[in-house]
């Protein structure tokens, strides 16, 4: 998204809405990464649990 499109969106929808949309998109990407990390962590815990025979 280039600056002209951003200014047009701000003019049409207002700054708070455009800012909220931008932040939600960024948060979604970070939550996806966090979910992937949690999946890897749980897999490593299960693997370690099986290796130690617990």
What integer is the mean pLDDT of 1-22?
Answer: 83
pLDDT at residue 54 tops 70: no
Rounded Cα distance between 44 and 38, Å, is 10
Q: Which residue has the higher pLDDT, 17 or 27?
A: 27
Closest CA to 6 of 27, 23, 19: 19
pLDDT at residue 1 tops 80: no
Site of tokens 């966090």: 34
Helix ranges (DSSP H) in the chain: 3-13, 15-51
3-class DSSP assignment, residue 15: helix
């Amino acid at each position: 998204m280039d600056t002209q499109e951003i200014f047009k969106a701000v003019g049409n929808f207002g700054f708070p809405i455009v800012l909220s949309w931008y932040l939600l998109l960024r948060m979604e990407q970070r939550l996806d990464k966090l979910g992937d990390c949690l999946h890897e962590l749980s897999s490593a815990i299960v693997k370690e649990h099986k290796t130690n025979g617990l």
